[in-house]
Structures are given as C-alpha cells and as structure tokens.
Amino acid sequence: MVIDHAPGCSDPMAEVHPAYCLIELTGNGAQTDLDTRLETALEAAFEAEEIIDAVIGASEAQKDALWALRENLSEAQKPEGASIKHDVSVPVSRVADFIREATQACMDHMPGLRPCPFGHFGDGNLHFNLSRPVDMADAAFLAEYGAFNRIVHDIVHEMGGSFSAEHGIGTFKRAELRRYKDPVALELMEQIKATLDPGHLMNPGKVL
C-alpha cells in the first residue's frame, strides 16, 4: 500500500517478503563504528538464517527513504478504503505469535480481509490495523468493528498484553477497560479519582 500510494516510496528489496524490520542505531561513538556493528549483527543473522535480506542506508537520503516506508503506513491505508485499527501491546516474546494468531482469527472471521500490522515491535507495541476486503463497502466493514475488537483484544488479553498501548482509554475504550481490567484495580482507580476530583471537574466523562 505504501509503494502504491506514498509519493516517492519504492521497495528497497529485490523480492517481496512477509515482514520487514526497520533498525536504526544511535550512540556516542563514530558513525563508522555503528555501521560496523550493524553489519556484524546482520551477517550473524544471515548465518543463523534469521533474516532473508537486508539493505543498509548509506546516506541520509537513503535513510530517509527507508523511514518513509514506515512513516507513510497509516496514510497509505486511506486510499484502500475503511480500516479498523487496534493499538495493542503484548510481551516482546509474543509479538510474532500474536501477529500469526490474530491475523488468522480475523481472516477466519472475514475472508479477503487485509491485515496491516506494524509498529514498535521492539517494545511489543503494535498497530494492528485491518483494511477492508477490496470488494466490500466501507459501511458494511465498519459494522464489524465490535466483532474485530473482541477477537483481537481477547487474544491480547490471553497473552498478558494490553488492549490500549499508546493512545490511552478516553471515551472510546471505556467498555474495554471494564471488560479486561482487574476489578480491584478499577475500584482503586475510582477511589483515587473520587479523592482527587470529588466534583468530577477534571476531564469529565473520560475513562472513569
């Protein structure tokens, strides 16, 4: 989708692969030292058959082009029609398991669905976005929002993760908070809220 819709973006790889990892090293040492470390790590990964291919940005322009692939993901989904988005987190060790299990469960619910998981795999935070089937109307797809939330969030919960990672609860996820949060933790949150804001003047109606 990024290659089709984001200006100036192209696939840096010779072949299409099922998953891509964008890595950037920063540190106090010389850039050449960082480059050497990255090359060494990639060579080891090749030998261990943990990766299939790799591209290293040799200039700032090339590095910007690689980052553009990641930064244009959300916008590139829009021309493809409606999408249902999840902002979730799971333990880092379960990221791959989650992507496989949630993708399969969602596609079982709706054949033709186009899952677009991306995000901060290194800390277990994922944007598990779902683009509608090509031949499906937006309204019909969005009507399944609740069903997809249940599928995805139940899997997240089973893996010891959170249904809300980066973007908080607000009003949209209050029902999910009630469903998945420990009742004791909820009660404590309510007590703190009542103590600090007995008149319900601060951000009324949000979360609690």
Query: In this predicted model, what pLDDT tens digit does every residue of 108-123 receive, in sequence order?
Result: 999 999 999 999 988 9
pTM of the model: 0.84
Domains of the chain: 2-74 (no CATH), 81-167 (3.30.70.2740)
Q: Which residues, 6+ apart, have CB-to-CB distance to 84 below 8 Å? A: 129, 130, 141, 142, 144, 145, 148, 149
CB 69 within 8 A of CB 1: no
Q: Which residues, 6+ apart, have CB-to-CB distance to 1 below 8 Å? A: 73, 76, 77, 79, 80, 116, 131
Query: In this predicted model, what pLDDT tens digit does every residue of 74-121 receive, in sequence order?
Result: 999 999 999 999 999 999 999 999 999 999 999 999 999 999 999 998
